[in-house]
């Protein structure tokens, strides 16, 4: 009987220990998730061509250390022109005029916002983007947050695009076949390369190093007239730091641009 009681006691203690360990793991995961919670959402609104609008970027920036921050957005440059980005003392971006890099190619734009005066914020404003609405194709435009870097480290984040709906008559644009500027450049994990097609064609992309060695070849695709983006994310350990060429081959021409990989 004594042995049975001992065994039953051992089983009970073992179960209690398992429950305690599980609770510790759950609490630890919850604390870690809370300590590195990042959400960036862009406000949706309506507008007409010629309007000057202020679009709020809001959410949560809650990380253990926060000395500097970089936000990168993609947007429809055929209908939107970025005028400025503003921060405030009660925003996550405290810089009144944060450093701003804005590049466009055909229908696509990339906005990079950088500030070293930042603070944690919970469900509040991050910054405000001031925009001029242009005449162009389509009845809506997106401003999409794509990357959040904290202290030079890319963070996992909940990123939600904002949509601007236009109450006007769209204007059809003209397209010139070509390859745009890679962004961000230099890049760490994923780079976006805009391009346009005028006449329907087969296209194929290649990545070369500086001495002309083929690094990666991508499948042939068929594209009709319009603006597009080529996204390149190297596999882990596949692409060392340095300069590379991206080549786009169509049925009629070959286009070349370059980028830097820095991690």
What are the start-end ranges of the H helices in the chain? 2-35
- Equal fold, 37-166 vs 178-261: yes
Q: Which of 232, 58, 54, 76 is nearest to 144 (CA)?
A: 76
Locate the domains of the chain by residue range. 1-35, 37-166, 178-261
In this predicted structure, what is the pLDDT of residue 104? 84
Q: Would you say domain 37-166 falls under CATH 2.60.40.680?
A: yes
Taking the C-alpha atoms of residue 75 and residue 134, their distance in angstroms, rounded to an integer, is: 13
Q: Which fold has domain 178-261?
A: Immunoglobulin-like (2.60.40)
In this predicted structure, what is the pLDDT of residue 186? 85
Residue-wise pLDDT for 55-84, tens only, equals: 999 999 999 899 999 999 999 998 999 999
- Strand order in 158-160's β-sheet? 80-86, 121-133, 52-62, 37-42, 158-160
Percent of residues, the chain, with pLDDT higher than 90: 54
Is the pLDDT higher at 22 or at 205?
Answer: 205
In this predicted structure, what is the pLDDT of residue 9? 53
**Does the pLDDT of residue 232 top 70, yes or no?**
yes
Residue-wise pLDDT for 199-231, tens only, equals: 899 999 999 998 889 989 999 999 988 888 898
What band does 29 get if pLDDT is binned at 50, 70 and 90?
very low
- What length does the chain have? 263
């Amino acid at each position: 009987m004594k042995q049975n009681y001992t065994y039953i006691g051992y089983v009970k203690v073992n179960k209690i220990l398992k429950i305690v360990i599980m609770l510790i793991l759950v609490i630890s995961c919850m604390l870690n998730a809370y300590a590195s919670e990042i959400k960036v959402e862009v406000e949706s609104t309506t507008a007409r061509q010629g309007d000057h609008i202020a679009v709020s970027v809001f959410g949560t920036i809650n990380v253990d250390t926060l000395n500097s921050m970089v936000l990168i957005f993609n947007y429809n440059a055929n209908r939107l022109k970025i005028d400025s980005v503003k921060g405030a003392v009660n925003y996550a971006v405290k810089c009144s005029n944060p450093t701003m890099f804005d590049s466009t190619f055909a229908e696509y734009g990339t906005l990079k916002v950088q500030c070293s005066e930042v603070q944690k914020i919970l469900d509040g404003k991050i910054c405000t983007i001031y925009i001029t609405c242009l005449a162009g194709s389509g009845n809506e435009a997106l401003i999409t947050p794509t990357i959040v870097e904290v202290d030079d480290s890319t963070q996992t984040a909940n990123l939600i695009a904002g949509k601007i709906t236009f109450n006007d008559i769209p204007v059809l644009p003209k397209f010139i076949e070509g390859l745009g500027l890679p962004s961000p450049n230099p890049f760490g994990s994923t780079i976006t390369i805009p391009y346009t097609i005028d006449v329907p064609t087969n296209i194929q992309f290649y990545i070369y190093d500086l001495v002309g060695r083929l690094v990666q070849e991508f499948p042939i695709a068929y594209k009709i007239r319009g603006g597009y983006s080529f996204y390149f994310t190297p596999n882990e350990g596949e692409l060392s730091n340095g300069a590379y060429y991206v080549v786009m081959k169509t049925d009629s021409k070959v286009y070349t641009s370059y980028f830097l990989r820095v991690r």
